[in-house]
Structure 1
Amino acid sequence: MDFELPQELATLRQRVLEFVTDKIVPFENDPRNGVYTVEDSLREEMVALTRAAGLLSPHGPREYGGLGLDHRSMAVVFEAASWSPLGPLAFNIQAPDEGNVNLLHQVATPEQKARWLPDIVAGRIRTVFSMTETATDGAGSDPSLLQTQAREVNGGYVISGRKYMISAAIGATLNIVMARTFDVAGRDLGATMFLTDAGDPAFKIDRMLETIDSNTPGGHAEVTFDGLFVPHEDVLGQVGQGFRNAQVRLGPARLTHCMRWLGQAARCHAIAVAHAGRRHSFGKTLIEHQGVGFMLADNEIDLHVCRLAVWQAAWLLDRGDYARNETSMTKVLCSELLGRIVDRCLQILGSIGITRDTVIERIYRDIRPFRIYDGPSEVHRHALAQRLAAHGPFDAVTRCYPMPAPR
């Protein structure tokens, strides 16, 4: 692996950092940047600025108006763009839209791409990915428990069921729905993804969930599909291949989450270093006390390790490698280490850290759910343990099972 940034990418990174610092950070105190959600008017204003700067949608395919970056370049640019918690929204790289762009680009038909990708990449519309269900009603961490059904009728399918923790539903245009599919004879064909209209009256938002995070426009909701009709041409991918096609989205999306949180953790670290360098206690600056200095040193180590893990997994994806082990391990590693970084930063700032006088308080709340969504750490560990039980240790050099026995 070559870790040296090409000059073009280094220049783009600097442009992104300067743009975020000058144009996006000032919006952090905007009243539309609410406690539980970000208003769409603020997102649209920021997107317009980013579009004018020629920086919008670095992940988006060039043919649909994006910058068309590969995963390694995205790792660099996403981290820089996420120096502010509002950066992912401003650059149109926030979940679920970013992952849905990749999913559509990889799986959709040419007609579906032409219909949806230009508006999503341009930031004109928002999207939803409806997969998770409540613990009592169906699929959470175990997608095999999927209860939402799509039954084939004349001309298409009718979807009925309930979903939980559905992000960005309010104000969205496109809703990608995962449902267990049955043909006209009642045979279970497996899970399928469908492209649906988020404004259809048969899609109902039952209640908004009050969560500790605040970085998703439209918030998080519990929703119901009450006989929602979807024509055959709006099936996304192949009937019965929903889980397989979902991995096209979920693997890279776990990695892009890591990229975004790297930027925000680095911002918290910079704030903590500056504070520890000017704040005095017992005759020294805070950073001169080992208790604080060692915490900051640990932050440096953890940021370095996470960045290397992200770059390696991104490099593998760019080679066309599914990188299942790497994306899973990287997601666990980053969600836990980056969370610790933000926690240390809040501790170093003391009482200031728990106020909105700095951005650390908000990032602290927002980053905690990272250990849960896109697969809790425990589920990823379980999957890795199952592969260990079946195949033995994984050789990270040759990238195969089993790892050669030492001589």
Structure 2
Amino acid sequence: MNAGFVPLLPAERLPLDTVKRQASLFAASPAAGVLDRLPLGVAVCNSARQIVYSNEKFRELASLECESALLVGKRLGEALSCLGAGLEVGGCGTSELCRSCGMAKALLASLTQPGMTHGECSVARQGNNKLESLDFRIWIWAMAYGGESFHAAILTDIRAEKRLALMERIFYHDILNMVSGMRGICELMREEEECARNAELELLTFAAERINDLILSQRDFSLAEHGEYDVASNKMGTLSLLSDVTGLMRREPSARGKNLVIDGDSADVFFISDRKLVTRILVNMQKNALEATKAGETVTVGCDQDGGFVRFWVRNPGLVPDEARPQIFRRAFSTKGVGRGLGTYGMKLFAENYLDGEVGFTSDAASGTMFFVRLPAANKA
């Protein structure tokens, strides 16, 4: 059920002969044959929210093997066997449970305002002798046909999407707890073991911390793609942050045999942003540059002030191929092979969708390739 409450919808229904006449009107329409072949659930309701037409996919969503005529006169929640639809004599939209229903909210909006409305809804229903949940996304809009007013609804089943989101949340929660336990054990061993073992423990601790960072990075990426990431406000210095990230990246396998240096003219400027997201962007920028650099070559990083913005940049001697340039920030595109391509996409997603920044690059034979991120010195808050 969606957050937020809606008023109860009217219980009154149109006479059965009127509903049947409207159903015959739609059954004879040429559009009925087309709608029956759509891979989306479609239902048309009259002004009293009673179904006068439903296509095959809608009936499949409702888990009903029946003709469209058998649903005529029912309301959407009733056709979908929602438990809340049977709590009041008025049916769907008239019980207290309906006040928080995403479908009722979309229906009410379509009755009171022009244009298409949409929402998400979770319907609890009794099916196959067990309680089950039907999750769907719904779009509703008003339409006129045969001189009368109707509302068309499109429903898509999002149960698989919801299950995957739940599994992701459980996975991240459980695996982060396990890694946290590993780090705790490392700390205990560090305190108890002799100094001769400290180097090995440091390496083990570093590995556990990197695993933790990778998991958090993927979790944040998933939240950001779904528009659910909560941006924090942290005050930090550009040079201090860049030094921390660069020190970390020098220990990465991709940095072996290569030089990673900070430009001597880098400026130390205080700015306000989400430290975690900025760190993710800088890590991706440096990692991509190191992976594109040959042994013995140098990757240079820097930071400066640009008006009311701060800018971080990473330069490597390589060249981005002409055919790859238009796609460099596209999701899942990579010049490094299958299964890659979230680095540059993630940089742009975080910087431009959440930090009001800008990500870009230049690449030419004379100066190599430079990626940069430009961020406001102060956030909107």
TM-score where L is the length of structure 1: 0.24
Give the structure with the higher percent strand. 2
Larger RCO (CA under 8 A, 6+ residues apart): 1
Q: Which has the larger radius of gyration?
A: 2
